[in-house]
Structure 1
Amino acid sequence: MPEVREETPLTITETSTPNVILDVQQTSCCIVGGGPTGAVLALILARQGIHVTLLEAHKTFERDFRGDVVHGGGMELLDQLGLTERLLDQIPHSTAKAIQYIIDGQTIPFVEWSHLKGTQYPYMTIISQSRLIQFLTAEAKRYPNFQLRMGANVQQLIEEDGSIRGVRYRGQGGWHEVRSHLTVGADGRFSQVRKLAGMELIETAAPLDVFWFRLPRHASEPEGLFVRLGNKRFLVTYNTYDGNWQIGYYILKGQYREIQAAGIEALRQSIVEVVPEFGDRVQHLESWKQVSFLSIKVGRLDHWYRPGLLLIGDAAHVMLPMGGIGINYGIQDAVAAANILIEPLKHGKVELNHLARVQRQRQWQIQLIQNLQYFMQRQVSIKALQSGYTFKLPIYWGLPPWRDLIARLLAFGVLPPHVKAEYRL
């Protein structure tokens, strides 16, 4: 039986000290991880004349990401950087203005971003993450003080006198070294930098896992994000920029092998039980090779920093996939970090208190949204998977104050950062 593709980190095991370093680069800030978080931080720093090196472990950005969602808050930050008009002109995208629940054929409105006031982006933008990263790094390449190294698999942190002074990575034919005033780990949920630094997530139980796959979408079908419940099934679907439905098929943790053993036909049948209109297209799901499996892991670091080292984005706090907020909160981390660190980096004096300020500004907001995700998971996701057709949404779920609060928190958070006026384009 073919294996389901499981989302795992790209790492190379390397325990020995390199005999030969092919080159040594000096930079002010070395950012590990070329996702949206690292790319936004690198771009802002480069615009301010700071020498920055961005290291990405993969050799190309052309791969299938599952997080192709940028909420209104993230779009506003990109707008403050003068990017959104060209971004949306150049890259195909779609939008979702609401989250709706569908239970036993009944549609129940929930989040409606179109009701939010004071924003230019009252919707969720669905855009290729790979294209987004390429756009951001292309912008950064306009500045001669920016360097992007692809296929750079970081294997060691350089530590001197109790402070991180850079990294060593494998790629391009051997070992390379980047020495820096500050190293930033923005390398995602499986962060290699976090592992090398001996920093461990405080994990919270996440009793759900999810299968990700796509099915064709008919042009006549409505746009939006739909949570579809029924027969102990929990599916999330939203329209993508390329004419498909992106589908998250949630399961209770521990059911992975059982569902896989039942076969792809059983998976197709269970999809149709919840979404009958997909009966005319589930045959496109031909094998497990088209399915990605994500073992949901949730947690956050107690300390995001060490002398000379800062972790942000998923490297510092792994979010639940619920609400698709990962990119948003990662971009917010990058902006908050840039606002605080630009001047210290310009003077080559990044102190521990600067790194602590980044964590103080962001940590409580991350904790709040994670707690909200946990609450929503307990109240809806888990109960729906356990209760089947007897499940009903909590009464307060449909109340406008609750719906508006969730809409704003998902889109912006509590006190979202803004790019400082002097750093805007």
Structure 2
Amino acid sequence: MGSIERASVACVVAGGGPAGMVLGLLLARSGVDVAVLEKYPDFLRDFRGDTVHASTLNLLDELGLGDRFAALPQQRERRLAMRFDDGAVFEDFSRLPGRHQHIALVPQWDFLNLLAEAAAASPHFHLAQNAEVNGLLRKNGQVRGVTYTDKDTGRTSELTAPLVVAADGRHSTVRDLLGLRPRSSATPHDCLYVRIPRLPGDPDGTFLRFSATGGLIMINRADYWQAALLIAKDTAGAARADDGAWTRRTIARLAPYTSERMAAIGAADIAVLQIRIDRLDRWWAPGVLLIGDAAHAMSPIAGVGVNLAVQDAVAAARILLPALRRGRVSAKDLARVQRRRQWPTVLTQAAQRAAQERFVAASIGGDGPAPAPLRLPLPLRVLRHWPGFPHLLGRAVGLGVRPERLTGSLEALRHG
């Protein structure tokens, strides 16, 4: 299924991740012909962001998909611990407003399949998988569609549209075709992902461990742990050397209950994520809008990436719907989307950079002599004694900055 059986639509979305699929679903339900082009044949890729926060769960309720989402295999967390060498702070979601006092950890492919199935119920939605965008159609200085290749057949086709939306991630092809370059912030670390069997007697829940000898995030997947080990920037090769010996030792030191299980882990079982924080100065060009990681790559800190991308999609759908119905999307329309979503992105990235500087950089360990214990940063040492702080922290993570809504019902979106 690598091609669209038509030559034009009202909107082409490059990328079938959370932002692209949510935007496609919202526009299709609003009567706008939309085509989503996804370069892979399916959504089944491991170690993609899969932390679904309350802001996104509330949106799914508005779309009538809450019960279907709740039926997916998932782990629900009402409280997360950040453990340092001298104590811990907690993110508590139990007082969030609305139906959802938790975050959900759901394999991203299940989430995307749910969105695709819901969108496919509309005759206005068209999804092509194994369809890779490789060019932009231009007319009078404005982008008017894309060229894409059906990777099943090798055939290249044109698809015209008044608007192209780039939701194709941090390595965005559309962004490269436009010649846009994001401004990057320094990141001191990358991340290694390892699956570790989970056994009776292991700790409950997901937690983050920050120590002077290493940083480790342990995500509870019911029958296994998804371990995310922090490493110094560009040192993945060394961390996987000798069949991953250093990685095994470090994880076993930070999570001693996994020691015996680590013996079965080799270099082939270790996936690498290169951490980036960047942002475009301008998220649009005539006829094109960039959203999600294509406009602003996020660090995995606090698991906000999926949810921020979804909020971009909701804002874009609501703001651009009248213009898409007219068949003319102006630069002013596109700039409105960026104005709406830019400052939540700026604030979130600023918080991520602060976390990197205050304790992430200090928790990239090695095999040398044990350094001094990594203490809670001073602001957290003070604030953790305030009873309301865990709930405030949970609200900041669970809802984020400026969560987007459909103004109470989908009817508001349908009628612009």
TM-score, normalised to structure 1, is 0.89
The 3 A distance-change label for structure 1 pair 59 and 117 is: closer
Instruction: State the shift of 1:147 in Å.
Output: 0.7
Instruction: State the shift of 1:220 in Å.
Output: 4.3
Write the letter of the residue equivalent to 1:407. Answer: G
The answer to whether the aligner puts 1:132 opposite 2:115 as a matched pair is no
Residue of structure 1 equivalent to 2:270:
291
Residue of structure 2 equivalent to 1:265:
245
Instruction: State the shift of 1:389 in Å.
Output: 4.5
The 3 A distance-change label for structure 1 pair 27 and 132 is: same
Instruction: State the shift of 1:402 in Å.
Output: 4.8
Residue of structure 2 equivalent to 1:396:
379
The answer to whether the aligner puts 1:206 opposite 2:193 as a matched pair is no
Rounded to whole Å, the distance in 2 between the matches of 1:254 and 1:117 is 38
Moved more, 143-152 or 275-284: 275-284
> Does the CA-based 8 Å contact 2:285-2:331 persist in structure 1?
yes
Instruction: State the shift of 1:96 in Å.
Output: 1.6
Residue of structure 2 equivalent to 1:195:
176
Instruction: State the shift of 1:230 in Å.
Output: 3.3
Write the letter of the residue equivalent to 1:395. Answer: L
Instruction: State the shift of 1:383 in Å.
Output: 1.8
TM-superposition CA deviations, 1:188-209 (whole Å, max 9, x none): 1111111111111111111111
2:300 to 308, 321, 329: 321
Q: Tell me the C-alpha RMSD between the 2 structures.
A: 2.0
Residue of structure 2 equivalent to 1:144:
123
Moved more, 262-271 or 28-37: 262-271
Rounded to whole Å, the distance in 2 between the matches of 1:264 and 1:385 is 16
Residue of structure 2 equivalent to 1:56:
38
The answer to whether the aligner puts 1:409 opposite 2:396 as a matched pair is yes
> Does the CA-based 8 Å contact 1:96-1:223 persist in structure 2?
no
- Structure 1 gap segments, 5+ residues each: 1-20
Residue of structure 1 equivalent to 2:27:
45
1:77-88 residue pairs with structure 2 within 5 A?
A: 77-88=59-70
The 3 A distance-change label for structure 1 pair 289 and 75 is: same
The 3 A distance-change label for structure 1 pair 383 and 266 is: closer
Residue of structure 2 equivalent to 1:26:
8
Residue of structure 2 equivalent to 1:75:
57
1:110 to 77, 86, 90: 90
Instruction: State the shift of 1:119 in Å.
Output: 2.6
Rounded to whole Å, the distance in 1 between the matches of 2:296 and 2:96 is 29
The 3 A distance-change label for structure 1 pair 182 and 280 is: same
> Does the CA-based 8 Å contact 1:201-1:302 persist in structure 2?
yes
Rounded to whole Å, the distance in 2 between the matches of 1:51 and 1:345 is 9
- Structure 2 gap segments, 5+ residues each: none
Secondary structure of the structure 2 residue equivalent to 1:25: coil
The 3 A distance-change label for structure 1 pair 107 and 220 is: farther
Rounded to whole Å, the distance in 1 between the matches of 2:385 and 2:132 is 49
Instruction: State the shift of 1:107 in Å.
Output: 5.8
Rounded to whole Å, the distance in 2 between the matches of 1:307 and 1:103 is 48
Instruction: State the shift of 1:378 in Å.
Output: 0.9
Residue of structure 1 equivalent to 2:257:
277
Rounded to whole Å, the distance in 1 between the matches of 2:210 and 2:4 is 56
Instruction: State the shift of 1:265 in Å.
Output: 2.8
Write the letter of the residue equivalent to 1:320. Answer: S
Secondary structure of the structure 2 residue equivalent to 1:177: strand
> Does the CA-based 8 Å contact 2:193-2:228 persist in structure 1?
yes
Instruction: State the shift of 1:101 in Å.
Output: 2.8
Instruction: State the shift of 1:399 in Å.
Output: 4.2
Instruction: State the shift of 1:62 in Å.
Output: 2.1
1:323-362 residue pairs with structure 2 within 5 A?
A: 323-362=302-341
Instruction: State the shift of 1:113 in Å.
Output: 1.4
The answer to whether the aligner puts 1:226 opposite 2:226 as a matched pair is no
Residue of structure 2 equivalent to 1:122:
101
TM-superposition CA deviations, 1:338-370 (whole Å, max 9, x none): 110111111112111111110000001100000
Instruction: State the shift of 1:22 in Å.
Output: 11
> Does the CA-based 8 Å contact 1:95-1:223 persist in structure 2?
no
Instruction: State the shift of 1:248 in Å.
Output: 0.7
TM-score, normalised to structure 2, is 0.91
2:162 to 181, 201, 206: 181
Residue of structure 2 equivalent to 1:3:
none
> Does the CA-based 8 Å contact 2:84-2:376 persist in structure 1?
no
> Does the CA-based 8 Å contact 2:172-2:294 persist in structure 1?
yes
Moved more, 57-66 or 120-129: 57-66
Rounded to whole Å, the distance in 2 between the matches of 1:231 and 1:362 is 36
Instruction: State the shift of 1:44 in Å.
Output: 0.5
Secondary structure of the structure 2 residue equivalent to 1:108: strand
Amino-acid identity (%): 34
Instruction: State the shift of 1:415 in Å.
Output: 1.9
Rounded to whole Å, the distance in 2 between the matches of 1:22 and 1:280 is 51
Secondary structure of the structure 2 residue equivalent to 1:390: coil
Instruction: State the shift of 1:157 in Å.
Output: 0.7
Rounded to whole Å, the distance in 1 between the matches of 2:102 and 2:343 is 25
Write the letter of the residue equivalent to 1:275. Answer: A
Rounded to whole Å, the distance in 2 between the matches of 1:424 and 1:388 is 55
The answer to whether the aligner puts 1:248 opposite 2:218 as a matched pair is no
